[in-house]
Amino acid sequence: MTSFTVINPTTATAVKEIELNDLIQTDQIINKAQKAFETWRHVSPGDRAKLLRKFATVVDTHIEELAQLEVLNSGHTIGNARWEAGNVRDVLNYYSAAPERLFGRQIPVPNGIDITFKEPLGVIGIIVPWNFPMPIAGWGFGPALAAGNTVVLKPAELTPMTAIRLGELAKEAGIPEGVFNVIPGKGSIVGERFVTNPLVRKIVFTGSTSVGKQIMRGCADQVKRVTLELGGKSANIIFADSDIELAAAGAPGAVFDNAGQDCCARSRILIQRSAYDKFMEKFEVAVKKFRVEDPALDTAEMGPLVSAGQLERVKEFVPDGTPIAFQGSKPAGPGFWFAPTVLAPKDTTDRAYREEIFGPVVSVIAFEDEADAIRIANDSEYGLSGSIWSRDIGKAIRVSRAVEAGNLSVNSNSSVRYWTPFGGYKQSGLGRELGPDALDAFTETKNVFFDTQK
């Protein structure tokens, strides 16, 4: 068995050896999950609901432990990490209401009765990236388990620690053996096996657009169901009639939170030209105040990047000599630190402006009017998230309808609420997670006609 050394990104020191599963072990666990499906799907709705609520309660009593693990493994700020663990609890509680409400329909038809059922799919394979190890796992396994499926979950190689702990907490909560399985391993081994093993009936993938495309191609062989949450290059569109001070104060958090390693990061700022100078002046103050420090501190607003490799990737977008508008600070010493960086490219052909960087780098571009803002915002292969700042309600509504993205907020930078659907347009993804309809992504609709004339 091979292993992987987890590194603390804040100190660049080794934390723990994690054993990686091979193909044979992966198949064994998938077989176990398939067996467990036969009993889990028949656990009564009320009992399945109770088990999910118990799981939520056990997570709740381990929030601090899970959060500390994420600081250690991923360099997330402690404040964020507590929110992330709490999000797993909340998603479990939200979907614990689902088993008892998984309604079908009775549809009027001649000569009989017609009923639809929402049947579970079977084993669900969840492939998780390293940027939000806990929430992204929970958005998959919460609704998947609620709908009566069993789960095999592969955490990212870099960040397996909280997922492994969540697997243990599920057992502690009484989730039966084989129902929720965490399988640390390589994407090219464990992840690919989820795609090729026919017992896995659906893939939930979050990660890069290139791997997402590869998975979608692989799923085609078996017409395997697939949900994809991929990259983004979201626009923060700020009109001159907005509260510029408020928009500028919020703009650093909107892109530098989680060190920019966020698929919803507002990494393009589109500012109306007449407010450009005022905005840049306030934005510079806010960027320089943004606290980049030891993520274990309660005051930290940003920690290091996840890995030495990610630091190199981000540096490639800002090579020496790049004209920088202004920069925030970063601590000296070890760890994978990159200071918050603001670029003001001359036009939209700049590589750092167009590509997803997944680091604390933002590009600011001026626009003339509403039509120009919409055109520039939509000039991207991505369409995940974004913000619109304006005091003109009609304009805010028009622009929010015109921007091609799955999750927008007006006079706010918030992207994720577990009550509401989340997902991307264009190459940002396929399907939606969270919200009231997520169960549809984890069930098949079965239609049964009962002839009453015979």
Residue numbers 274-333 binding ligand NAP by CB under 6 A: 313
- Where does 9-147 show beta strands of DSSP type E? 13-19, 106-107, 112-120, 123-127
Instruction: Find the catalytic residue in 157, 263, 356, 433.
Output: 263
Which amino acid makes up residue 296? A
| 128 or 147: CB nearest ligand NAP | 128
Residue 356 binds to ligand NAP (criterion: CB under 6 A): yes
Please report which residue ranges of 41-62 form alpha helices under DSSP H.
Answer: 45-60
Residue numbers 100-129 binding ligand NAP by CB under 6 A: 127-129
Q: Is residue 219 annotated as part of the catalytic site, yes or no?
A: no
Which amino acid makes up residue 441? A
Beta bridge partners of 205: 127, 228
Contact partners, residue 222, CB within 8 Å, separation at least 6: 198
Smallest gap from residue 300 Cβ to ligand NAP (A)? 21
Residue numbers 124-183 binding ligand NAP by CB under 6 A: 127-131, 154, 156-158
Smallest gap from residue 184 Cβ to ligand NAP (A)? 9
Site string for ligand NAP, 239-268 (x = CB under 6 A): ------------------------x-----
Instruction: Find the catalytic residue in 229, 301, 356, 433.
Output: 229
Q: Is residue 229 annotated as part of the catalytic site, yes or no?
A: yes
Q: How far is CA 207 from the centre of its chain?
A: 8
Smallest gap from residue 156 Cβ to ligand NAP (A)? 4
Closest C-alpha to 381, from 213, 141, 132, 168: 213
| 238 or 265: CB nearest ligand NAP | 265
Dist. CA 304–CA 306, nearest whole Å: 6
Smallest gap from residue 245 Cβ to ligand NAP (A)? 31
| 267 or 272: CB nearest ligand NAP | 267
Token readout for 212 is 């997402």
CB contact at 8 A, 454 and 114: no
Q: Would the CA dihedral through 152, 65, 262, 130 be positive or negative?
A: negative
Q: Coil, strand or helix: which one is 329?
A: coil
Binds ligand NAP by CB under 6 A, chosen from 13, 44, 188, 414: 188
| 61 or 188: CB nearest ligand NAP | 188
Q: Considering only 10-18, 210-218, 277-285, 397-405, which stretch makes contact with ligand NAP by CB under 6 A?
A: 210-218
Binds ligand NAP by CB under 6 A, chosen from 126, 175, 228, 230: 230
Smallest gap from residue 11 Cβ to ligand NAP (A)? 21
Binds ligand NAP by CB under 6 A, chosen from 358, 382, 389, 425: 358
| 119 or 355: CB nearest ligand NAP | 355
Q: Would the CA dihedral through 315, 351, 348, 397 be positive or negative?
A: negative
Helix (H) or strand (E) holding 254: helix 244-256
Dist. CA 236–CA 357, nearest whole Å: 16
Phi-psi region of 446 (alpha: psi -120 to 50; beta: other; left: phi over 0): beta
Token readout for 320 is 């020496």
Dist. CA 236–CA 267, nearest whole Å: 8
Q: Name the residue with tokens 């369409």.
A: 383
Q: Considering only 73-81, 108-116, 187-195, 292-300, which stretch makes contact with ligand NAP by CB under 6 A?
A: 187-195
Total chain residues near ligand NAP (CB under 6 A): 27
Active-site residue list = 229, 263
What residues line the site for ligand NAP (CB under 6 A)?
Answer: 127-131, 154, 156-158, 186-188, 191-192, 206-208, 211, 214-215, 229-231, 263, 313, 356, 358
